[in-house]
Amino acid sequence: MMALLMTLIMSEVIPGLQHGFYPGWINEWMQRYVIIWLIAFLLSLGVGPIAFFLSSQVVRRIFPD
């Protein structure tokens, strides 16, 4: 869900507000959106487990059993 929302915001909402919504921007946005979503999804698959591991290590040090 986060990858989906972040790619939506970063791929068109911010650039669209900065440069304007010109004719044909929907086609260009769809092409960029698909590519960016795939990259974000793959990165989240790789980074997610690392982040969960690191956070569990931090919690284990703060709250030892």
Residue-level pLDDT, tens digit, the chain, 65 residues: 776 777 777 766 767 777 777 787 778 778 877 887 788 788 888 888 998 999 999 999 999 87
Q: pTM to 2 decimals? A: 0.53
- Counts of helices then strands in the chain (DSSP H, E): 3, 0
pLDDT reported for residue 57: 95
Asked whether 12 and 29 are in contact (CB, 8 A), the reply is yes
Coil vs helix vs strand at 20: coil
Contacts of 40 (CB under 8 A, 6+ apart): 3, 6, 7
pLDDT at 53: 95
CA distance 38 to 4: 9
Q: How far is CA 56 from the centre of its chain?
A: 22
- Predicted pLDDT of residue 55: 94
